[in-house]
Structure 1
């Protein structure tokens, strides 16, 4: 838990690799093909596909480049869509989606107990299992940290968030810095993954 918290702090103090400056106007045009899955305003309807609106620019650019590399993050649907994007294209698309407002989601009232458990984990972690509070990196409101490249996780589809946590846990997804997310997710039960994902879906 201490290791993860310290790593978050170190990344927050670092600006990371410089990215090309993005043009939101150009990005809107270049993102036209993305709308089929991620929505015309960056808010997806399918709970298995992420809403990109309001996501941190650095994080978005990194994910696209990781999909292009096809090593630490893979997706058969994404790879052909972004294969021919240049670094400038990536920067423009990331800037465009980062500029859009994310639509608020409403937590399922039938899952109130699970949501409360998810809130406890997100805000306080689990000392017995060595799990640091999620908000240490992702912030009290789930906005993430743009300079460090930590994603915004609030108002994201619960199903998508849970899928990503399970992908980290299984090792299917490996593009987390210094294996931070894999280290955390390996300590989470299925219930805890679903609980924190349900809580995040209504966090704004």
Structure 2
């Protein structure tokens, strides 16, 4: 399973679609629409809104383009990106990618179970290790538009896993996250979500 994921990662990285290059300085002046939920530096203070700080530029741009086009449904963002063009979105992505994520702390009783899933997956269920796509330290693989999870809010990660499992979120390449999340129990989702919140 891991060999399959790695070869898919390589092929996506090689064949990725080129987008406009972002300008972080220009992006700072375009983030007013983002700050209410994600904070001025991209470190949201509310657990259900993702931290954007330190996130991969390519990943952020992909998500914003898909939210704007309707490929990814995020009701809270309906209409917010309508007046921004691709260059604007690329600049915003570059700005948040340039910021440092503020790490959280994992719940002590979830670290051992979460770390095991992160590093080894759940073999008897066919759940691949999270490190295959998100890296050992959770920094992601931006060339393949795979997100950084290091320091991300546990509440947001757990909610996202549940959305992938149910199919409510379906913008993952080759159904990868839907396949993985659908095999996980809620306890496993909670443990790995807590683990990444403190991962660095």
- TM-score bracket relative to the smaller structure: over 0.9
Is contact 2:31–2:40 with CA below 8 Å preserved after alignment?
A: no
2:81 is aligned to: 82
User: Which residue number in structure 1 is paired with residue 67 of structure 2?
Assistant: 67
**Where in structure 1 do 4 or more consecutive aligned residues deviate above 6 Å?**
none
Secondary structure (helix, strand or coil) at the match of 1:196 reads helix
**Following TM superposition, by how much is the alpha carbon of 1:6 offset from its aligned partner in structure 2, in angstroms?**
3.6
| Residues in 1 aligned to 2:120 and 2:73: alpha-carbon distance in whole angstroms | 31
Matched, 1:103 2:99: no
* Alpha-carbon RMSD: 1.2
Deviation at 1:5, TM superposition (A): 4.3
Preserved contact between residue 15 and residue 147 of structure 1 (Cα < 8 Å): no
Q: CA deviation at 1:79?
A: 2.2
Q: Tell me, yes or no, if the aligned pair for 2:152 and 2:196 is still in contact at 8 Å.
A: yes
- The answer as to whether partners of 1:15 and 1:148 remain within 8 angstroms in 2 is no
Give the one of 115, 133, 138 matched to 1:137: 133
- How many residues were matched structurally? 199
- Partner Cα separation in structure 2 for residue 15 and residue 116 of structure 1: 37
What TM-score comes out, normalization by structure 1 length?
A: 0.93
In 1, Cα distance between equivalents of 2:15 and 2:152 = 25
In structure 2, the partner of 1:183 is 179
Structure 1 stretches lacking a partner, 5+ long: none
Task: With the length of structure 2 as denominator, give the TM-score of the two structures.
Answer: 0.95
Say whether the 8 Å CA contact 2:5–2:132 is kept in structure 1: no
Which residue of structure 2 aligns with residue 10 of structure 1?
A: 11
Q: Counterparts in 2 of 1:20-39, with a 5 A limit?
A: 20-39=20-39
